[in-house]
Amino acid sequence: MCRSRVFAMAMTPFDFRVPSLLLFGAGKAAELPGLVRRHGTRCLLVTGRASLWASGALGAIAGGLEGAGIAVSAAEVAGEPTPELVDSIAARRRGEEIACVVAVGGGSVLDAGKAVAAMLVHEGSVGDFLEGVGTRPFDGRRLPFIAVPTTAGTGSEAARNAVISRVGPGGFKRSLRHDALMPDAAVVDPELHRSCPPPLTAACGMDAVTQLLESYVSLKANPLTDALAEAGLAAAGRALPAAYADGTDLEARSRMAYAAYCSGITLTNAGLGVVHGFASSVGGRFSIPHGALCGTLAGPCLRATVERLKEGGEVRHLAKIARAGRHLTGREGRDLGADLDGLLGLLDEWARALCLPRLGEFGVTEADLPGLAAATGCKDNPVVLSPGDLETILKERL
Ligand SMILES: [Fe+2]
């Protein structure tokens, strides 16, 4: 960062929540048993997709734990976690004297594991404690929790919330959130990401990119989140197409894993924008994978945001979006308009090249749009979009 920019930054007061231990790099999963042994000799292993078992990677992890004298109880998670799923796992495992919960999987598995770690020491349903849904304050008590992501996406391994949803009419997608929910350790081993198929790589990668963009231009961004978001965007810029094209490209997988981890920290500390507003409203109504939903809406949401900022003459925010674009595209800065066009063009190009799905493929129809727009909040977006803007965005990706 150049000297003049440091001094140009307004140093307004801010809070910053840091994750705990991170073990990062190829082969780091081998160190998991040592981490678990710090807590005891019995763990609950929460896992997800069958392909990771099929690849032998999960078998090796379970075998490594047992080889280190750790008794392993297992729980499987299919899809995004519901209150019922979390409650049933917790009910089954209470009383087993579990010392530690280890979640190995995508964002849904990590969130499920995080919530189970909490519910193993709480009575009642996790739904009682969810933001905007439950009525009981969550006190943060939980069992030790270790996150081992197998996709590069939500950044849950570096975030202090677990997203729980019930999809359908009257559905919701809400968080169990507390500073104490930050994992005790994250083991980010890109070797585990190599079996992630291209569509999932694209969706998860776009979730990470969206989280970095949204937290970077958020009204709550601070100098530390900016530094991490810039690093994450630069890492993801070239790596996402490469990881999509060749899942065995370990360098690309490493850069995406790093970008996703950074995005977990930035979203925790700077919040998110209108794309994640849609993730709650549309994602609560329709069964659309979170990453696919964010990825498909990222371009239109940013375009609408840029247009409204231009109308308002909000040069400071526009300049920051342009700067995000330079980090993501890796291009030298030209003028403001060209840099903004470069970013919007890249997001459009990725929507095509990564085959991001359209909303209609998941059953969303034009008749649903007014209701969805009305239920969508703009979170910490640098400008508030009108219901009409929100409807236009959805229509564009119908
Ligand atoms: Fe997300």
C-alpha 321: how far from chain center: 20
d(CA 172, CA 347): 28
Q: Is 229 exposed, middle or buried (0-12, 13-18, 19+ CB in 10 A)?
A: buried
Q: Which residue from 233, 216, 207 is spatially nearest to 305, judged by alpha carbons?
A: 216
- What pLDDT sits at residue 8? 55
208 alpha carbon – ligand 1 mean position (Å): 7
Contact 115/164 with Cβ under 8 angstroms?
A: yes
Helix (H) or strand (E) holding 280: helix 274-285
First to last CA, the chain: 40
**90 CA to centre of own chain:** 24
Domain assignments of the chain as residue spans, ordered by start: 21-193, 198-396
CA distance 243 to 236: 10
Name the pTM for this structure.
0.96
Strands 172-177 and 161-166: antiparallel
Helix (H) or strand (E) run with residue 85 in it: helix 83-93
Tell me how far the alpha carbon of residue 116 lies from the centroid of ligand 1, in angstroms: 20
CATH number listed for the domain at residues 21-193: 3.40.50.1970
| Cα–ligand 1 centroid distance for 279 (angstroms) | 8
Ligand 1 centroid distance, CA of 143 (Å): 25
Structural tokens at position 112: 């499920």
| Sequence-ordered list of residues with C-beta below 8 angstroms from that of 13, at least 6 positions apart, any chain | none
C-beta of residue 229 within 8 angstroms of C-beta of residue 212? yes
- pLDDT tens sequence across 232-247: 999 999 999 999 999 9
How far is the centre of ligand 1, averaged over its atoms, from the C-alpha of 291 (Å)? 6
What are 185-202's pLDDT values in tens digits?
999 999 999 999 999 999
Cα–Cα distance, 31 to 290 (Å, whole number): 30
Q: What is the pLDDT at residue 394? A: 98
**Gap from CA of 299 to ligand 1 centroid (Å):** 15
E-assigned strand segments in the chain: 21-24, 42-47, 71-76, 100-105, 145-149, 161-166, 172-177, 185-188
Which 3 state secondary structure label does DSSP give 144?
coil
d(CA 318, CA 316): 5
Position 2 scores a pLDDT of 47
Position 168 scores a pLDDT of 87
Q: How far is the CA of 107 from the centre of ligand 1 (A)?
A: 9
DSSP code string of 296-357: HHHHHHHHHHHHHHHHTT-HHHHHHHHHHHHHHH-PPP--HHHHHHHHHHHHHHHHHHTTPP
Pairing of strands 42-47, 71-76: parallel
- Cβ proximity of 286 and 171 under 8 Å: no
Q: How far is the CA of 96 from the centre of ligand 1 (A)?
A: 33
Query: Which DSSP state fits 264?
Result: H
Ranges of the chain with pLDDT below 70 = 1-10, 49
How far, in Å, is the centroid of ligand 1 from the Cα of 160?
13
**Residue 29 CA, ligand 1 centroid: distance in Å:** 24
| Distance from the alpha carbon of residue 211 to the mean position of ligand 1, in angstroms | 6
* pLDDT number for residue 334: 84
Calculate how far, in angstroms, residue 248's C-alpha sits from the geometric centre of ligand 1: 24
**The pair of three-digit structure tokens given for residue 339, joined into one six-digit string:** 């840099």
**What's the gap in Å between 6 CA and the centre of ligand 1?**
29
Fold classified for 198-396? Dehydroquinate synthase-like, alpha domain (1.20.1090)
The rounded Å distance from CA 363 to ligand 1 centre is: 21
Strands lying side by side in the sheet with 100-105:
21-24, 185-188, 145-149, 100-105, 42-47, 71-76
**Cβ pair 144, 117 in contact under 8 A:** yes
Task: Quote the ligand 1 centre to 233 CA distance (angstroms).
Answer: 15
Q: What is the rounded CA–CA span in Å between residue 394 and residue 122?
A: 39
Specify whether the CB–CB gap between 372 and 394 falls below 8 A: yes
Q: How far is the CA of 2 from the centre of ligand 1 (A)?
A: 31
